[in-house]
Chain A
Amino acid sequence: MSVLSQMALLFIGAALVNNMLLTRFIGLCPFFGVSSSMSTSVGMSLAVVFVMTLASGATWMAWKFVLSPLGVGEFLYIPAFILIIAALVQFVEMYLRKASPVLYRAMGIYLPLITTNCAVLATATEAAKPGFFKMNIPLGPSLGLGEALVYTLGVSVGFGFALLTFAALRERLEAAPVPAALRGAPIAFISAGLLSFAYVGLAGWFGL
């Protein structure tokens, strides 16, 4: 298989077939928290794509050049990765506020929340130290930097896609006649379940 088609498979596998939100339940807090309106979902999705890709690159390098050669990775990877992400988010926020006020207005308030978004930690961990997720993609025991970045980009685009679909669904739900007992969060979960059926149906695409 050529490198390009393998990258494409990795992207589709990460974005759709193994969608982070709807087939792995990772990152549900923002999924239910910000999906009540379309504009907040757009901001959140942008921020996630941006931060997640940077975070994976950073943890990949930390694992490859620091944690793994020193032999401390097994018991230091959790604090190390989360601190890298927290610091990175802080720097991105400071930089954006100075350099690009437009971008900062679009996703600024979501940046602090992203530190505790489990999707970012999960993806950054998986990119740097694979083995937690089982995906039917022919990959080696460790990813190269390029593969790690493509994988992360796939995950974050899939995250944004699912979030936007769900936000559109919920805006309609506002006006729907829902039984009193199910109003609010319960009906949101049930509609997320129906959306999840669609993603489960993608299993087996391209042999993934």
Chain B
Amino acid sequence: MSDNTLFSTGLHRRDFLRLTAGLTALMGLPYAMHTKVAEAATADNRPPVIWLHFQECTGCSESLIRSGHPDPAALILDLISLDYHETLMIGSGHQAEKSLEDSMKANWGKYILVVEGAVPLAEDGIYCKVAGKKAVDSLKDAAEGAAAVICIGTCAAFGGVQAADPNPTQAVSASSLVKDKPVINIPGCPPSPYNLLATILYYLTFNKLPKLDKLGRPEFAYGRRIHEHCERRPHFDAGRFAEQFGDQGHSEGWCLFKLGCKGPVTFANCSVQRFNDVGVWPVSMGHPCIGCTEPDVMFHTSIYDKAQIHEITPPDFYPNANPAPRGKGADPVTTGVIGMVAGAAIAASAIMANKLPKGGDDEEDKA
């Protein structure tokens, strides 16, 4: 990869091809498709993206700009056309709002709307306002002209921490408010930035949405449980569990299920795609999965509660966690013969020792 600095200019050809090839693989497309993906990503009509922030922590944006390839500058300037993003854009105040209106007008019906954060409905939605406009109204206006709406993060997709009990602002997910547009949920707290990039590129390449599950999540990223591809899975199958943080099993890297790991009930690709471009993810660091991509797990159950497991035994095609004994051990004849030879050697030494004189001469130890 080229340098990952914020200020590097542009995206090198090789890095770009590597990125599109990686994203093609992530989407589960045939390898030959990566030229098509690359073409879509370099087309002149790069998708205008309008990014709205509501009740959230900006963690999803942080996650996105922490992706190393492409680096943030290349992502925002070259790959997509990020027309409005409250934390990343240069303009501020009225200038910023004007660029939002301009972009919406210019790209009406074409732009992709990315929503980050939940929308409060209590007391007519006064708990979240940007430029004096209520979140619920901003969303309604922006969604009207959008080609598709991507709800990034668990807050936008399922309500998140705002919607947790007792939910004083009556926050609801952004996806539940958009009725007449295609909505893609990319939950996670934060989600992997590559899941967002892959979704956008899929849309650009095929002009349609990727296959979604019943919770609106792209199946290529959220089709399988964390548990299925976890590196600690063999420990689960072998019954080796960390019982508490810092114990023997925990330091040996055993399964974190008993510490509350939600991997068995959480659909996400964290155990495969991982984070920060260095192959880490919570479970690899010794913390159980908190189930942040599920609407009913994170913010609705305790992090340290055990998940309910429905499929305890591993599939047949998994390698056996308790391998059968291999290699040839001792057999009676060999043991007997070796024992006899060793016994004879010891007996011979004993006889020799016995034959040697017990006392010695006095002339010694002048060395």
A and B held together in a complex? no
